[in-house]
Every structure is written in structure tokens, then in C-alpha cells.
Structure 1
Amino acid sequence: MRQFTEKTLLIATHNAGKLEEFRQIMTPLGITVTSAGEHGLPEPDETESTFIGNARIKAHAAAKATGLPALADDSGLEVMALDGAPGVYTADWADTPNGRDFIMAMEKTHAKLIEAQAPQPWQARFCCTLVLAWPDGHDEVVEGHANGQLVWPRRGQDGHGYDPMFQPDGETRTFAEMSADEKNALSHRGAAIAALMKACFT
């Protein structure tokens, strides 16, 4: 595994929620965090059918465009009763002409579970793949998962995406009912970042 020795890391995302999560974890390490949005980078088309493939597209595009090492995340929700859907298409389920609407996406997911007559608990897991790419084309890949179940009605005001619908194993609260620190300790992204820290930042 290649060690990260630079002082600035570009997070290849335009998602403010994801960027803030990475900032909370990286800033104490003395690493300056910037983003694709702050550099005016376009969002590349995610044409792969896997989390790793899409994360690689984003990381390498950002590293090539800026000359900075870039970290990209591709993540999603896999619902067992829906044969792993929405999976890599999690964000697509929230797409509307006016932007992403995750309340609509959660309602769609719930409707599909009812339509499938899926017995409860509705087992699900969040998946996160991180790709750290350097301008010379090298990359490192790590993954993290959070197992749990979907609940309805959704609960909590914090978080983003499907957080109000996802209750991790061993908890009675959804991600959206937790503080950022509590969620980071249990989340798929937190697990992936912990693996990345161990591999490339120690």
C-alpha cells in the first residue's frame, strides 16, 4: 500500500454531506481538505456497474485535472429483499429534474418492499468503496460496510440520503437520530475510512 505523504487531499465529490464527513475525519490529521466543487470540476459520468469502478472514474478524473491526490467514494444501499437494489444506483433512485430527493427515494424503496411482500425485518447494508488516486495513475482501494435493517416510518432529522430509514445492527436508533460522531463510529464510510487510515495514513 502506498503511503499518503502530501498535505492536501482533494475529495472528489460535489456532495456537501460527504465532504463534511471527510473533513471531520481528515482535519485532525493536519491534512487540508478541498473538493471537486471548490475546484470547479465537472462530475464525470459514472458508467461502471460496480462501486469500485465508479469510484475509480471519479478519483482518477479529479487527480488528473488538478495534479492533487484525490479520494473518491462510491456508496449505496443494498436491500436484501430487493435483490441488492438500489445498490450502485442508489443516488439514481433519488434523481428528479430539480435535483436529488431522498424522501422520494425512501418512499420508493418502502413501496417496493410492500409490493414484494417482503417479511420484516428488512435486512439491508450500506456499502462504501474508497479509491485514493495519485496524479501518476496509482490508486489504492478499500471497502467498508454497515449492516442493519430498514425501518418505516423514517426517523430522525440529521444525516443525509437514506439515513432516516436505516437502523444499524445493535442499535434502536437510525443513523439520522445519531450525532455525526456516533454515526461515523458505525457507518460504512467510517469503516472504509478506518481501513484507508490503517493502509495509507499510518
Structure 2
Amino acid sequence: MKVVLATGNKGKLTEFRQLLAELDMDVVPQSDFDIPDAIEDGLSFVENAIIKARHAAKLTGLPAIADDSGLEVDMLNGAPGIYSARFSGENATDEKNNLRLLSLLQEIPEEQRTARFQCLLVMMRNAEDPTPLICQGTWEGRISFAPQGDNGFGYDPLFLIPELGVTSAQLEKTEKNRISHRGQAMGLLLEKLSPQTRT
């Protein structure tokens, strides 16, 4: 089964391929089809994920998987949220986003730096699919005072997992995939796609 992944993010693509390895699926990025990114004008993670999946399915004629993920920081009233990727402005980079987040939390003590990663994962069998599969994963943590670790991408170097005492960027890939927001959402998708749940 060939499935198009509605992202151009290399970090996400690597994670998705690892997470979907147990299924007999050929996962190809939408960049292979030279199609433009969808305009993400939804007001929630799930809206944006559906927009991206429908866009990829429509332009490729294949089933599509899309996710919309982001970081919610309690002291920032849930920001950056759906704007996580462009938190630092039009020419945002991971480094700029992380620096902005640190500057906004500069005076905030450790116990008040609570945050979580959210992942809304959508699979559409075709562009007109009236019942897309929707799976959500949530990963609780805190924002550290400085970046730590070289693995991962996005806010991973700042996302501290208190019970482990390390950031997401300090985890091995297999461990991260097991416990992360994306790993949780993908686990739910795998359950829904398994032969047992289809009968």
C-alpha cells in the first residue's frame, strides 16, 4: 500500500517511516510529487491536519497521512500552539523559535514551566473521505532553561521530561518514538489499521 505523507519536514518523515515500519506501507513524502504545501488556515491542530491530508490526497490520488503538532506552554496560555513552527516570525527556524521561547520564560521558575507536545494525526483514504481516521497523542513535560541534546528537531532540545531528567533531544530515537506525542498518535493509528480492528 502506497501512502503519501503530507509533510516536507525531514525530521517528521524519518520518524514516520520508523513508526510505520511494522506495516506493509510504502510511505512517500509529498515532495516526491512536487506539490505545494497546503495553506494551513485552520484554527486547531485537527483542522490543519485534515487540510493537509485532504490536499495531499487530492493532488496525488493516494491515501494520505498528515499530522499537525505543536507545543503548548501553560504560562503562555497555550502558545505557541498551532503556530509552533512559525513562532519567531516569517523566517522562523528551530533555533529562532527556541530562543524566543526561552526569552518569554526568562523569569519563570522551573515548577511553572509546564508544557506539553500535542500531535493530531489524520489519515484520509481519499480526498473525499467522510470519515478520516483521527488520532491524538499528548506528551507532558517542562521547558528547560537551556537547550540540551542533539537528537530530534523543533523544540526537542528544550522539552524536559521530568521523570527521566533529560530533554526529548537527549533520547534515543526508539525511546522517543515509544513515548512521544507522535509515537502515541501513531500507535493509535496502527491499532485502527490492524486487521483485527478492520473486521
Q: What secondary structure does 1:49 align onto?
A: coil
Q: Give the Å deviation of 1:30.
A: 2.0
> How far off is 1:168 after superposition?
2.1
| TM-score normalised by length of structure 2 | 0.92
Structure 2 letter corresponding to 1:174: T
The SS at the match of 1:131 is strand
Alpha-carbon displacement from aligned partner over 1:44-81 (angstroms, at most 9, x marks no partner): 11001100000000000111111110000000000001
Structure 1 residues 38 and 108: alpha-carbon distance in aligned structure 2, compared to 1, 3 A threshold: same
- Aligned length in residues: 192
- Is the CA contact (8 Å cut-off) linking 1:130 and 1:192 kept in structure 2? yes
Paired position in structure 2 for 1:190: 183
Structure 1 unaligned blocks of 5 or more: 1-6
After TM superposition, give the deviation of residue 166 of structure 1 in Å: 0.4
Q: Percent identity?
A: 37
Give 3-state SS (helix, strand or coil) of 1:28's partner: coil
Q: Cα–Cα, structure 1 residues 54 and 155, in superposed 2: closer, same or farther, change >3 Å?
A: same
Runs (4+) of structure 1 moved beyond 6 Å? none
RMSD of aligned alpha carbons: 1.3
Question: What's the counterpart of residue 163 of structure 2?
Answer: 170
Letter in 1 for 2:67: D
- How far did residue 12 of structure 1 move? 0.5
- Structure 2: 5+ residue runs without aligned partners? none
Letter of the 1:131 partner, please give it.
V
Query: In the alignment, which residue of structure 2 is the partner of 1:3?
Result: none
**Pair 94,40 (structure 1): closer, same or farther in 2 beyond 3 Å:** farther
1:94 positional shift? 4.4
Compute the TM-score of the two structures, normalised by the length of structure 1: 0.91
Instruction: State the alpha-carbon separation in 1 of the partners of residues 181 and 42 from structure 2.
Output: 20
Instruction: Kindly provide the CA deviation profile for residues 107-128 of structure 1, in whole angstroms up to 9, marking residues without a partner as x.
Output: 10111112xx433231000000
Aligned residue in 1 for 2:133: 140
